[in-house]
Amino acid sequence: MDWMMILKAFVVGGAICVIGQILIDKTKLTPARILVAYVTIGAILGGLGLYKYLIDFAGCGATVPLTGFGSLLAKGTISEVQTTGFIGAFTGGIKAAAGGISAAIFFGYIASLVSKPKIKKQ
Protein backbone atom coordinates (compact mmCIF):
# COMPACT_ATOMS: atom_id res chain seq x y z
CA MET A 1 0.00 0.00 0.00
CA ASP A 2 1.36 3.37 -1.02
CA TRP A 3 0.97 5.44 2.17
CA MET A 4 2.39 8.60 0.60
CA MET A 5 -0.30 8.55 -2.11
CA ILE A 6 -3.01 8.07 0.51
CA LEU A 7 -1.70 11.07 2.45
CA LYS A 8 -1.57 13.17 -0.72
CA ALA A 9 -5.12 12.09 -1.63
CA PHE A 10 -6.25 13.11 1.86
CA VAL A 11 -4.66 16.57 1.72
CA VAL A 12 -5.61 17.44 -1.86
CA GLY A 13 -9.15 16.03 -1.57
CA GLY A 14 -9.62 17.86 1.71
CA ALA A 15 -8.36 21.12 0.22
CA ILE A 16 -10.80 20.87 -2.72
CA CYS A 17 -13.63 20.38 -0.21
CA VAL A 18 -12.48 23.38 1.85
CA ILE A 19 -12.78 25.59 -1.25
CA GLY A 20 -16.37 24.36 -1.60
CA GLN A 21 -17.06 25.03 2.09
CA ILE A 22 -15.76 28.60 1.77
CA LEU A 23 -18.06 29.09 -1.24
CA ILE A 24 -21.01 27.81 0.80
CA ASP A 25 -20.26 30.02 3.80
CA LYS A 26 -19.16 33.20 2.06
CA THR A 27 -21.44 33.32 -0.99
CA LYS A 28 -25.11 32.69 -1.61
CA LEU A 29 -24.44 29.78 -3.98
CA THR A 30 -26.69 26.76 -3.42
CA PRO A 31 -25.08 23.31 -3.24
CA ALA A 32 -26.53 22.45 -6.67
CA ARG A 33 -24.81 25.46 -8.23
CA ILE A 34 -21.54 24.59 -6.53
CA LEU A 35 -21.69 21.04 -7.89
CA VAL A 36 -22.42 22.37 -11.39
CA ALA A 37 -19.53 24.83 -11.08
CA TYR A 38 -17.17 22.07 -9.95
CA VAL A 39 -18.11 19.77 -12.84
CA THR A 40 -17.77 22.57 -15.38
CA ILE A 41 -14.42 23.76 -14.02
CA GLY A 42 -13.20 20.15 -13.95
CA ALA A 43 -14.24 19.62 -17.57
CA ILE A 44 -12.50 22.82 -18.66
CA LEU A 45 -9.31 21.96 -16.77
CA GLY A 46 -9.47 18.42 -18.15
CA GLY A 47 -9.94 19.78 -21.67
CA LEU A 48 -6.90 22.02 -21.28
CA GLY A 49 -4.93 18.99 -20.12
CA LEU A 50 -4.12 20.57 -16.76
CA TYR A 51 -6.15 18.34 -14.46
CA LYS A 52 -4.14 15.23 -15.24
CA TYR A 53 -1.15 16.71 -13.41
CA LEU A 54 -3.26 16.91 -10.26
CA ILE A 55 -4.40 13.31 -10.79
CA ASP A 56 -0.78 12.20 -11.24
CA PHE A 57 0.08 13.97 -8.02
CA ALA A 58 -2.85 13.10 -5.77
CA GLY A 59 -4.63 10.11 -7.35
CA CYS A 60 -8.09 9.77 -5.85
CA GLY A 61 -7.67 13.11 -4.10
CA ALA A 62 -8.24 14.58 -7.57
CA THR A 63 -10.59 12.01 -9.15
CA VAL A 64 -13.09 11.54 -6.31
CA PRO A 65 -14.19 15.22 -6.00
CA LEU A 66 -16.67 16.27 -8.67
CA THR A 67 -13.99 18.18 -10.59
CA GLY A 68 -12.52 14.74 -11.32
CA PHE A 69 -15.85 13.68 -12.81
CA GLY A 70 -15.78 16.72 -15.09
CA SER A 71 -12.20 16.10 -16.16
CA LEU A 72 -13.02 12.45 -16.87
CA LEU A 73 -15.82 13.58 -19.24
CA ALA A 74 -13.43 15.91 -21.07
CA LYS A 75 -10.58 13.40 -21.17
CA GLY A 76 -12.88 10.70 -22.56
CA THR A 77 -14.17 13.07 -25.22
CA ILE A 78 -10.67 14.02 -26.40
CA SER A 79 -9.36 10.46 -26.55
CA GLU A 80 -12.49 9.37 -28.45
CA VAL A 81 -12.09 12.27 -30.90
CA GLN A 82 -8.52 11.13 -31.51
CA THR A 83 -9.63 7.60 -32.40
CA THR A 84 -13.01 8.04 -34.12
CA GLY A 85 -13.08 11.71 -35.16
CA PHE A 86 -16.10 14.02 -35.06
CA ILE A 87 -18.60 11.53 -33.61
CA GLY A 88 -16.23 11.02 -30.67
CA ALA A 89 -17.11 14.47 -29.33
CA PHE A 90 -20.61 13.15 -28.63
CA THR A 91 -19.81 9.59 -27.52
CA GLY A 92 -16.53 9.88 -25.64
CA GLY A 93 -17.56 11.79 -22.52
CA ILE A 94 -20.36 9.58 -21.30
CA LYS A 95 -18.50 6.45 -22.35
CA ALA A 96 -15.62 7.35 -20.03
CA ALA A 97 -17.90 8.29 -17.14
CA ALA A 98 -20.45 5.51 -17.75
CA GLY A 99 -19.48 3.48 -14.69
CA GLY A 100 -20.03 6.31 -12.25
CA ILE A 101 -23.22 7.61 -13.88
CA SER A 102 -24.84 4.17 -14.20
CA ALA A 103 -23.85 3.20 -10.68
CA ALA A 104 -25.30 6.43 -9.30
CA ILE A 105 -28.60 5.97 -11.14
CA PHE A 106 -28.97 2.26 -10.41
CA PHE A 107 -27.83 2.20 -6.79
CA GLY A 108 -29.71 5.44 -6.20
CA TYR A 109 -32.91 3.93 -7.54
CA ILE A 110 -32.53 0.73 -5.50
CA ALA A 111 -31.69 2.67 -2.33
CA SER A 112 -34.74 4.89 -2.69
CA LEU A 113 -36.96 1.84 -3.30
CA VAL A 114 -35.93 -0.04 -0.18
CA SER A 115 -35.67 2.91 2.18
CA LYS A 116 -38.44 4.50 4.17
CA PRO A 117 -38.58 8.28 4.04
CA LYS A 118 -38.03 9.83 7.43
CA ILE A 119 -40.79 12.14 8.63
CA LYS A 120 -39.27 15.57 8.94
CA LYS A 121 -39.15 16.95 12.45
CA GLN A 122 -38.50 20.66 12.44
Partner 1 sequence: MKPIQSKEDYQSYVDEKTPNSPILKNCFNAFWVGGLICAIGQIIFGLCRLRGIDETNSYTIVSMTLVFASAFLTGLNVFNKVGKFAGAGSLIPITGFANSIVSPAMEYKSEGYVMGVGAKMFTVAGPVLVYGISTSIVVGLIYILLNTQSLVLI
Nearer to partner 1 by C-beta: 53 or 94? 94
In the complex, minimum distance from the CB of residue 107 to partner 1, in angstroms, rounded to a whole number: 4
Asked if 81 and 90 count as a contact pair (C-beta separation under 8 A), the reply is: no
Residue 112 phi, psi dihedral angles, 5° rounding = -75, -25
Nearer to partner 1 by C-beta: 53 or 110? 110
CA 50 to chain centre: 15
In the complex, minimum distance from the CB of residue 78 to partner 1, in angstroms, rounded to a whole number: 5
In the complex, minimum distance from the CB of residue 95 to partner 1, in angstroms, rounded to a whole number: 11
Q: b/e per residue, 5-37, with b = 16+ CB within 10 A?
A: eeebbeebbeebeeebeebeeeeeeeeeebeeb
In the complex, minimum distance from the CB of residue 122 to partner 1, in angstroms, rounded to a whole number: 13
Measured between alpha carbons, how far is residue 104 from residues 40, 100, 112, 115 in Å?
Answer: 19, 6, 12, 16
